[in-house]
Amino acid sequence: MPKRTDIEKILIIGSGAIIIGQACEFDYSGTQACKALKEEGYQIVLVNSNPATIMTDPDFADRTYVEPITPDTVELVIEKERPDALLPTLGGQTALNVSVALAESGVLDKYDVELIGAKLPAIQKAEDRALFKQAMEKIGLDVPKSGIAHTTQEAIALVDEIGFPAIIRPAFTLGGTGGGIAYNIEEYQKMVATGLALSPINELLIEESIIGWKEFELEVMRDGADNVVIICSIENVDPMGVHTGDSITVAPIQTLTDKEYQEMRDSAIKIIREIGVDTGGSNIQFAVDPKTGKQVVIEMNPRVSRSSALASKATGFPIAKIAAKLAVGYNLDEIPNDITAETPACFEPTIDYVVVKIPRWAFEKFQGTDETLTTQMKSVGEAMSIGGTFKEALQKGLRSLETGWYGFDNHPLEELPLSELSSKLTIPNVERIFYIKSALKRGMSIDDIYSYTHIDPFFLYNLQEIVDFEKILGTPHTQLFTENGKSDAERTSLLRQAKQFGFSDRQLAEIYDISETQVRETRKTLGIEATFKTVDTCAAEFEAETPYYYSTCSSEDEVRPTDKEKIMILGGGPNRIGQGIEFDYCCVHAAMALKTDGYETIMVNSNPETVSTDYDTSDRLYFEPLTCEDVLNIYDKEKPIGVIVQFGGQTPLNLAMALKDAGVPIIGTSPEDIARSENRQLFKEVLDEIGLMQPPNGTATSSKEAVPIAASLGYPVIVRPSFVLGGRAMQIVYDEKLLQEYMDSAVQASPEHPVLIDKYLEEAIEVDVDAISDGHLTVIGGIMEHIEEAGVHSGDSDCVLPPYTLVDEQIDQLKEYTYALAKALNVRGLMNVQYAIKNDEIFVLEVNPRASRTVPFVSKAIGVPLAKLAARVMAGKTLDELRFTNEIEPSYFSVKAPVFPFNRFPGANSRLGPEMKSTGEVMGIDDDVSRAFAKAQKACGYTLPLKGNAFISVRNKDKRSVIFIAKKLTDMGFELIATHGTAKVLLRNGMDVQLVYSIGKGRPTIHDYIKNHAVDLIINTPTGDLHRTNELLIRQMAIENDIPIFSTIPGAAAAVNAIDALQSGEISVTPLQDYHK
């Protein structure tokens, strides 16, 4: 069927803030959908609260609503825009849930909006456990046995049917707390009792255990003519029991025969038909018993997913784009395959390489939580790698992670006692793959390792091959890098094999104890170069039109560089806390802008979730690790006239010096100037020269040095290692004892890695400034005033643009300082400065002469694409030529609010501090600052209550300031609950307060109130480490029960004002296009 002409306007819902389990992949899918449907002439209305997305760039949709993705707000958008159709399947679970809510509540019927892609019954059938089970039984497919229990009796009855081992999962507990596997009835009864008590709704899911089975996924697409194709098959290296998002996965499937694969394919086709997904992509997961080959269906996502993004990047088949086209009526055979141009999209991609995806975690930021990998996803990002063999792809993937590994390296704890090693192998954990290496090196057999890990022996054997080969390399007579040893032919052959096994130059350098440069030079002398091959969906059966490349060590290189002027953009690698979608956004903008200026753009990145790794974002895409070796290989091949390192976050910046030393032309602010801003001493000279102040500070290379420095500065002080992003290991310490602890345990200070100690400016206002400079002129993009005081990491603070409490003189001063800094650091491109204002004095906290996390937010707030302008400036344009010389102060307010992953990490300290812990952010825009704040809170998932009970417990120094907040709450009709100290203050100030006991000092406590659902808002400021556990408990309960909680006085004040604004009228929605007019 050709495309539908009975619909004109389509509503697309995004996925909101980046959270664990829902990251940039939905920007990738939403962006593809917007592009594809706009191309077809439809009007696009978009709702997404995440400003860091490409899809919310105002030119990707006709009407872009950066508004909370909640049923009531989306209803307002529908009421205003009257779309004909809603495409619910491209914005992750968030979009799907909101669409279902709108359909079920009758909103879609009321406004005559059609769900396209997947209809309500299909979504319900796939999402509802019982309906799904029924559907599978109907088509003769097996699912693991399971059932729901609300009482011990029900649970006992269930286990009779399910058998042991049985998995107990309490509903709605934080991070699945209280769940487990029971192997006998006694254990089971105990776990059932605990689980029922912990679940807020006293509900347990009891499941048959298939832990240890092999896990597989198929990406399926169906069109309106009922054509079904499998786009990609994925095998999880980690067996069932580890969430697929936390598993190392491989595409395509490696260990199934065709008979078994076809059985799975048949099942997938039956499933998508039975569930009734009309058009588009679905992800279906299967488990296979390794002993009998029995296949069971685990689940189906009736929408594009994280795996779809991976599958798209792994095969070159743009699933989201095609899904969007199918939703408006096209059939698969009517859509061309972009990559071959000549053949249709109705086929099954076949690949002639191996793809490995490896997750990246952030447990170091959530200390105290259990680091076991379970069925709940905990990773924050992933790297994908492509290689000619599993070994090569795995080693490339491990170095793509940028976590200090350069391949399948040795674990530092190699000498663990066997009992500990076996437990590291048995209990899935972040470094399990490296423990496997330790085991292999000790001579543990594949069978034994299998019995601990249940990782298929095929993969273990491949790991064994790497270990065995490394042994050959390591033997003394294997001198690859000295000419007096083996013949050139022998050296070439060994070195070639090393590269075919994926060894990096860095690993070889370590084995032979020489420099990486030396390895590189010898390798090149012997003629061993990386060869580049094309990702073409068809294993070379047809010629590829799209330049999407990966490297592998083989004989033929397919890349034919053009003689155009090229600029290479280095991406940000896998998402991590502190470096995610915001930087990818900047890289994508650079590619778009430089393309328009006539350059050929070359993108290098290893993150499959991103828009930057779409084959049509840049002219050439290299899906490669962001290490010096891999980037230089591409550079040698393409010889770009400039390389941009300032957009991809810390990843490319860390390479800048080495690249420059190797002769790579870095454009924009020079690596030396970037280093000047990061080196404490050099930066101090810069500030002295232009007469700006820093908080008093010092540098310590040992804990001995740290103590007198801190004493002279006066506590509290902020301590941190140098050269980090996202405030890694940054802490406020209040006394010498804590300082000692920090120096001894948290960091390993040394002359090469000094620790920076700053005086902590208490209760200062923190301000972020983003600016752009062409070397002569500097223009401020935006000044953001933080709501939380300085000391909370800027990525974790709410902030307001334009400032809401600063006076004109302060703003002017901030601007002047920023101009001076840009000049002093010779900035060409973007710059971010963080200031603290205390007692009317302005201190410079930090300068980053590169793209910052706030660039997309500012760009959206002021309606100017800063990253695009910066890229063009770096390539030689002036701001004058680009007509960006006037600073914009919007007449409306934009509030940025962070979103935290604490619900995934029970037990971790959830207090905010200088170390960043948020995974993403949202934006609220309104003419009124309080309403903008309310929108931002709502977009984070915290709907501010309009009435009810507010619990207040603040530290002594906040008791004065909380009086007004509390008073305002009572004026607005809230009842107050407070702990002893706070209650007394409030009572004395004429307010009615219900008293609760501090936990452990009597009953009722706040715990009881929360359990009774009698708390709607919490204001709880931390009192230092003394009551840490109490506060932690309160925060944890608030998180579990979705109660808005404010832990700073300014935050609480903003919330109270926002409630006031909400009480005085409904919120309204306005698209960015109207704000930017």
Catalog residues that contact another protein under the rule CB under 8 A.
Answer: 140, 225-227, 229-230, 233, 252-263, 265-266, 290-293, 331-333, 342-344, 346-354, 388-390, 446, 456-458, 461-462, 500, 533, 538-543, 554-556, 558
Backbone conformation region of residue 851, classed left if phi is above 0, alpha if psi is from -120 to 50, else beta: beta
SS3 65: strand
Helix 808-824 × helix 680-690 angle, to 10°: 120
Non-local (6+) Cβ contacts of 397 within 8 A are 248, 356, 357, 358, 383, 384, 385, 625
754: helix, strand or coil:
coil
Measured at the CA of 756, the angle between CA 754 and CA 957, to 5 degrees, comes to 150
For another protein, give the closer residue by CB, 189 or 343. 343
Q: Is the dihedral of CA 872, 878, 882, 885 positive or negative?
A: positive
Helix (H) or strand (E) holding 223: none
The identity of residue 341, as a single letter, is: A
CB 843 within 8 A of CB 816: no
Q: Which is nearer to another protein, 233 or 650 (CB)?
A: 233
Distance (Å, whole) CA 630 – CA 624: 7
Q: Among 283, 286, 288, 276, which residue's Cα sits nearest to residue 300?
A: 283
Closest to another protein by CB, 234 or 644:
234
- Comparing CB distances to another protein, the nearer of 266 and 685 is 266
DSSP line for 616-668: TTSSEEEE---SHHHHHHHHHHH--SEEE-SSSTHHHHHHHHHHHHTT--EES
Nearer to another protein, 229 or 519 (CB): 229
Least CB distance from residue 616 to another protein, whole Å?
22
Question: Nearer to another protein by C-beta: 491 or 860?
Answer: 491
Between residues 292 and 484, which has the closer beta carbon with respect to another protein? 292
Whether the ω angle into residue 252 lies within 30 degrees of 0, i.e. cis, is: yes
Pick the closest to residue 362 from 314, 402, 392, 329 (CA basis): 402
Residue 251: CB minimum distance to another protein, A:
10
Q: How far is the CB of 216 from another protein (least distance, A)?
A: 12
Taking the least distance from each CB to another protein, the nearer of 555 and 839 is 555
- In angstroms, the CA 450 to CA 430 distance is 18
Write down the least CB distance from residue 316 to another protein, Å: 13
Query: What phi and psi, each to the nearest 5 degrees, are found at residue 806?
Result: -80, 150
Place of tokens 């075919």: 500
- Closer by beta carbon to another protein, 223 or else 609: 223
Provide the H-helix boundaries in 989-1027: 1006-1011
Q: How far is the CB of 655 from another protein (least distance, A)?
A: 29
Q: Is 775 exposed, middle or buried (0-12, 13-18, 19+ CB in 10 A)?
A: middle
Nearer residue to another protein within complex by CB, 455 or 882 = 455
d(CA 832, CA 815): 12
Nearer residue to another protein within complex by CB, 111 or 542 = 542
Instruction: Output 534 or 610, the one with its CB closest to another protein.
Output: 534
CB of 270 to another protein, least distance (A): 11
Query: Smallest distance from the beta carbon of 556 to another protein, in angstroms?
Result: 4
DSSP state of 413: T
Q: Measure Cα distances from 653 to 567, 647, 650, 668 in Å.
A: 16, 9, 5, 12
- Cα distance between residue 438 and residue 435, in whole Å: 5
Residue with Cβ nearer another protein (347 or 804) = 347
Using the minimum distance from each CB to another protein, give the nearer residue, 342 or 816: 342
Question: Min. distance of Cβ 445 from another protein in angstroms?
Answer: 12
Residue 24 vs 446, nearer CB to another protein: 446
Q: Least separation, in Å, of the C-beta of 268 and another protein?
A: 11
Contacting residues for 269 by C-beta, under 8 A, at least 6 apart: 220, 228
Q: By C-beta, is 311 or 593 nearer to another protein? A: 311
Cα 76 to chain centroid distance, Å, stands at 29
CB of 355 to another protein, least distance (A): 11
Side-chain half-sphere of 858: how many Cα atoms within 13 Å?
30
Q: How far is the CB of 239 from another protein (least distance, A)?
A: 13
Q: Shortest Cβ distance from residue 220 to another protein (Å)? A: 12
Handedness of CA 18, 20, 21, 25 (dihedral sign): positive
State the minimum distance, in angstroms, from the CB of residue 331 to another protein: 8
Is 542 or 819 the residue whose CB approaches another protein more closely?
542
State in angstroms the smallest separation of the CB of 348 from another protein.
4
Q: Of the two residues 491 and 938, which places its CB atom closer to another protein in the complex?
A: 491
In this structure, what token pair is assigned to residue 314?
A: 């792994």
- H or E element, residue 304: none
CB of 555 to another protein, least distance (A): 4
Give CA torsion, residues 79, 81, 86, 87, to 10 deg: -140
Q: How far is the CB of 141 from another protein (least distance, A)?
A: 11
- Can you tell me the distance from the alpha carbon of 238 to that of 359, in angstroms, rounded to the nearest whole number? 12
DSSP E strand boundaries for 365-503: 381-387
Q: Measured between alpha carbons, how far apart are the two ends of the chain, in Å? A: 39
3-state helix, strand, coil in the chain (%, to 5): 40, 20, 40
Q: Which two tokens stand for residue 1006?
A: 């706040």
Q: Please name which of 99, 51, 42, 52 lies closest in space to residue 75, comparing C-alpha atoms.
A: 99
Residue 219 C-beta: closest distance to another protein, Å: 14
CB of 89 to another protein, least distance (A): 22
